[in-house]
């Protein structure tokens, strides 16, 4: 039987859960009580990408209305796609001002790359 843990990276899911929890003003302890786990378990899910049990997984994504497609559907295990997914999750947690900074940073990197190529 194939180990699915080798295919799924739950770090992005952990970040999405952390962001949703913080937006509600909830502590890890409070969330742990709601899902019947310890705050240490919630901390590991959020910060280390620990795999939650299926029941906890369902509770968390339902509670915070998190779409799991981006975490479940892998792009053939490509490391670049995992990085892009992680960046996408991080971008989804940013406000408009932060997104403007990220856009300017990306444009600056693109311009620097184009300058290097032309030299």
Of 87, 69, 90, residue with least CA distance to 79:
87
The CA–CA distances, whole Å, from 107 to 82, 90, 115 equal 22, 18, 12
The yes or no reply on domain 4-118 and CATH 2.10.240.10 is no
Structural domain boundaries of the chain?
4-118
DSSP codes, 45-73 = HHHH-PPPPHHHHHHHHHHTT---HHHHS
- Regions of the chain where pLDDT drops below 70: 1-9, 70-82, 118-119
The CA–CA distances, whole Å, from 68 to 14, 36, 58, 62 equal 11, 21, 10, 10
User: What pLDDT sits at residue 32?
Assistant: 96
- Structure pTM? 0.59
């Amino acid at each position: 039987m194939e180990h699915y843990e080798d295919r799924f990276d739950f770090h992005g899911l952990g970040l999405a859960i952390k962001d949703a929890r913080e937006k509600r003003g909830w502590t890890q302890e409070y969330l742990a009580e709601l899902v019947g786990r310890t705050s240490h378990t919630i901390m590991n899910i959020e910060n280390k990408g620990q795999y939650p049990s299926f029941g906890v997984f369902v509770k968390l994504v339902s509670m915070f209305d998190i779409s799991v497609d981006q975490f479940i559907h892998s792009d053939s295990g490509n490391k670049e796609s995992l990085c892009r997914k992680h960046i996408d999750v991080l971008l989804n947690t940013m406000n408009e001002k932060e997104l403007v900074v990220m856009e300017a940073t990306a444009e600056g990197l693109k311009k620097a790359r184009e300058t290097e190529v032309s030299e």
